[in-house]
Amino acid sequence: MTRKSLLIVMAALILVGTIGCMAHTHTVGAGSRGMGPPAVARQWYILWGIIPINSVDSKHLAGDAVDYTVHSWRSPLDIIINILTHFITIHSRTVEVYR
């Protein structure tokens, strides 16, 4: 494979790896009212995201709020962590709770 072809393949893999990041948003009650910064926690997985290592309780992160929004995604920091820990099959994901 030529050097140019190798660079194209590597760029394509990086692009696919970064656009494949999925996010989930859940609304509880009426949803977030925009009151301050979100409460943030990191969810850890082993075997490339198959088995959770820890449990993030969004209700605990929301505190006494009845209406809140939970947003879980792979942040840029998670992508860096996942690149470094991919070889030992550990991945992370960010969970944010907006009150």
Residue type, 6: L
Mean of the per-residue pLDDT values for the chain?
88
| Pair of tokens at residue 87 | 């070889």
Sequence-distant (≥ 6) Cβ neighbours of residue 98 within 8 angstroms: 32, 34, 38, 68, 69, 70, 71
pTM score, whole prediction: 0.75
Across the chain, where does the E strand assignment appear? 23-28, 39-46, 51-52, 68-73, 90-98
Q: Is 66 exposed, middle or buried (0-12, 13-18, 19+ CB in 10 A)?
A: exposed
Model confidence band, residue 23 (pLDDT cutoffs 50, 70, 90) = confident
- Alpha-carbon span 41 to 65, nearest angstrom: 17
Question: Quick one: pLDDT at residue 1?
Answer: 65
What is the CB neighbour count within 10 angstroms for residue 70?
Answer: 22
- Residues 98/62, Cβ–Cβ less than 8 Å: no
List, for residues 42-83, the tens digit of each pLDDT value.
999 999 888 999 999 999 999 999 999 999 998 889 889 988
